[in-house]
C-alpha cells in the first residue's frame, strides 16, 4: 500500500514532492485507511473534562470552578471549540470524566464521571488503579461509539483547571526529562507562579515511586481522569483505524502514555499544532512528531485539532481528484 500510494502521489501533475507536508499527510491517511481512495467521514470532537486535586497547591491562576463553568459554556455552544467545530462540520461531544459538579442531562453531554475530581497528587496518588482502569475503559468505549456512528476521524480535546500540572509530570517521567523542561505557564501563570508550580511539581515527583516502564501506573499517580479517558480513546481509535487528531500539551501527554504501552498508536496520529505551552515542542520531538500548525495557541478544548482539519481535507482531495501526468497529458520529469 505504501509503494502504491507513493507512486500515486508522484504521478500527480506537479513536480515530485512539490506538495510538501500535504504529501506525507495523504500517504498517512491512505495507510491508516489502507486504501488509495481515503475519505474523511463524520469528524468527531470528544472534549474530556475533569477536575484536579493538585489545584489546592496554587498551580493554576484560575479557580477550579472554571472547569464546570466551561462545561456549561460548551453545552450552551459558546466556547471556542463550539465555534470551530461548527465551522468545520465536527460532531461535538462533551464528556464529564470527573468534574467536581453535577450536570443535568444534555444531548451533547456524556456522563462518564469517575469521581468528583482527582486527589491532590502532591502527597498521594491522584487516583486508584481501579479508577485509572475505569477511565481508560470508558474512554475506549466512547471512541468506539463514535466509530459506530460512522466517524473515521477522531479529535480529542480536554478541559480541566490544573491539568497542565498532570501533563508536565507525565512528560517528566515518560520522556525522562527534568521538571524545569516540562513545566509551563498553563493558563497564564506569572514568573512567580511558574516558580511555585515548578517547586510543587518537583516535590510531587520526588514523593512517588514511578517508572516509565509502567506508564498506566504513572498515569494513575499524576492523573487526571480526562487524560486517562483520552488514553483509552486514542487506543480504541487506532484499533478502529481512525485518524486521530492530536491537540495541545495535555492531549499529547495522553498520547505519551498510550504510545509508551502501544507505540503503533503513533502511526494513526496527526499532530495538529505546536502549543505555546513551553514543553510541548520538546514533547512533540520526543515523539518524532511534526506538528502541522504553529499558531501560538494555548487554549486546549481541542481547538488546534479542529483548526488543522482543512489540511486533511486538502490532502484527501488532491490524492483523489488531482489529474496524473498520464490522464492530463502533461510531460513528466526528463532528468
Ligand X SMILES: O=C(O)c1ccc[n+]([C@@H]2O[C@H](COP(=O)([O-])O)[C@@H](O)[C@H]2O)c1
Ligand Y SMILES: Cc1cc2nc[nH]c2cc1C
Q: Which cell numbers hold the place of 133?
A: 482502569
Cβ–Cβ under 8 Å, residues 209 and 321: no
Cβ–Cβ under 8 Å, residues 85 and 155: no
How far apart CA 291 and CA 308 sit, in angstroms, is 10
How far apart CA 80 and CA 250 sit, in angstroms, is 17
Contact call for residue 31 and ligand Y (CB under 6 A): no
- Per the listing, cell 507505540 goes with 263
CB closer to ligand Y, 161 vs 255? 161
Tell me, residue by residue from 68 to 87, as one string, x for binding to ligand Y by CB under 6 A and - for no binding.
Answer: --x-----------------
Give the 3-state secondary structure of residue 79: coil
Contact call for residue 184 and ligand Y (CB under 6 A): no
Cβ–Cβ under 8 Å, residues 157 and 305: yes
Contact call for residue 66 and ligand Y (CB under 6 A): yes
- In whole angstroms, how close is the CB of 300 to ligand Y at the nearest point? 4
Residue range at the interface with ligand Y (CB under 6 A); choices 18-26, 166-174, 294-302, 311-319: 294-302
- In whole angstroms, how close is the CB of 195 to ligand Y at the nearest point? 21
Catalytic residue among 23, 226, 277, 301: 301
Contact call for residue 11 and ligand Y (CB under 6 A): no
Cβ–Cβ under 8 Å, residues 157 and 251: yes
- In whole angstroms, how close is the CB of 66 to ligand Y at the nearest point? 5
Kindly provide the residue ranges of all beta strands, DSSP E only, lying in 211-331, ordered along the sequence. Answer: 243-246, 269-271
Among 301, 306, 307, 308, binds ligand Y (CB under 6 A): 301
- In whole angstroms, how close is the CB of 143 to ligand X at the nearest point? 19
- Per the listing, cell 502504491 goes with 4
Contact call for residue 304 and ligand Y (CB under 6 A): no
Pick from 133, 97, 93: which is nearest to 114 by CA?
Answer: 97
How far apart CA 100 and CA 80 sit, in angstroms, is 22
Give the 3-state secondary structure of residue 134: helix
Is residue 239 annotated as a catalytic residue, yes or no?
no
Contact call for residue 210 and ligand Y (CB under 6 A): no
- In whole angstroms, how close is the CB of 162 to ligand Y at the nearest point? 10
Contact call for residue 277 and ligand Y (CB under 6 A): no
Question: Interface residues with ligand X (CB under 6 A)?
Answer: 60, 62, 158-165, 186-187, 247-250, 275, 277, 280, 298-301
- In whole angstroms, how close is the CB of 203 to ligand Y at the nearest point? 25
Q: How many residues bind ligand Y (CB under 6 A)?
A: 8
Among 72, 116, 299, 317, binds ligand Y (CB under 6 A): 299
CA atoms within 13 A of residue 105's CA, in its CB half-sphere:
1
How far apart CA 231 and CA 156 sit, in angstroms, is 10
Among ligand X, ligand Y, none, what does residue 97 contact (CB within 5–8 Å per kind)? none
How does DSSP assign 8-45, residue by residue? HHHTBSS-TTTTHHHHHHHHHHHHHHTSSS----S-EE
CB closer to ligand Y, 260 vs 280? 280
Among ligand X, ligand Y, none, what does residue 163 contact (CB within 5–8 Å per kind)? ligand X
Contact call for residue 293 and ligand Y (CB under 6 A): no
Q: Which residues are catalytic?
A: 301
Q: Which residues bind ligand Y (CB under 6 A)?
A: 62, 66, 70, 159, 187, 299-301
Amino acid at each position: 500500500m505504501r509503494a502504491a500510494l507513493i507512486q500515486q502521489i508522484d504521478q500527480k501533475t506537479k513536480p515530485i514532492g512539490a506538495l510538501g507536508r500535504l504529501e506525507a499527510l495523504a500517504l498517512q491517511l491512505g495507510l491508516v485507511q489502507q486504501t488509495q481512495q481515503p475519505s474523511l467521514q463524520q469528524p468527531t470532537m470528544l472534549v474530556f473534562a475533569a477536575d484536579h486535586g493538585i489545584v489546592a497547591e496554587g498551580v493554576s491562576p484560575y479557580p477550579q470552578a472554571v472547569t464546570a463553568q466551561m462545561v456549561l459554556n460548551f453545552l450552551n455552544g459558546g466556547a471556542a471549540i463550539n465555534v470551530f467545530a461548527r465551522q468545520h462540520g465536527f460532531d461535538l461531544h462533551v464528556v464529564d470524566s470527573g468534574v467536581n459538579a453535577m450536570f443535568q442531562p444534555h444531548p451533547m453531554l456524556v456522563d462518564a464521571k469517575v469521581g468528583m475530581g482527582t486527589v491532590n497528587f502532591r502527597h498521594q496518588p491522584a487516583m486508584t488503579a481501579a479508577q485509572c482502569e475505569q477511565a481508560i475503559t470508558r474512554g475506549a468505549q466512547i471512541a468506539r461509539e463514535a466509530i459506530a456512528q460512522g466517524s473515521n476521524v477522531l479529535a480529542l480535546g480536554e478541559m480541566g483547571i490544573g491539568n497542565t500540572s498532570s501533563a508536565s509530570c507525565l512528560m517528566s517521567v515518560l520522556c525522562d526529562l527534568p521538571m524545569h523542561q516540562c513545566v509551563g505557564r498553563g493558563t497564564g501563570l506569572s514568573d512567580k507562579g511558574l516558580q511555585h508550580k515548578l517547586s510543587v511539581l518537583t516535590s510531587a515527583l520526588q514523593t512517588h515511586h514511578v517508572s516509565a516502564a509502567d506508564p498506566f501506573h504513572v498515569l494513575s499517580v499524576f492523573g487526571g481522569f480526562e487524560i486517562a479517558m483520552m488514553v483509552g480513546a486514542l487506543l480504541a481509535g487506532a484499533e478502529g483505524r481512525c485518524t486521530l487528531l492530536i491537540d495541545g500539551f495535555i492531549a499529547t501527554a495522553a498520547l505519551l502514555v498510550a504510545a509508551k504501552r502501544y507505540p503503533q498508536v503513533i502511526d494513526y496520529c496527526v499532530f495538529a499544532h505546536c502549543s505555546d505551552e513551553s514543553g510541548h515542542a520538546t514533547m512533540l520531538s520526543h515523539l518524532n512528531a511534526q506538528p502541522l500548525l504553529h499558531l501560538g495557541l494555548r487554549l486546549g478544548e481541542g481547538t488546534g485539532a479542529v483548526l488543522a482539519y482543512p489540511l486533511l481535507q486538502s490532502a484527501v482531495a488532491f490524492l483523489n481528484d488531482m489529474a496524473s501526468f498520464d490522464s492530463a497529458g502533461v510531460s513528466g520529469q526528463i532528468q
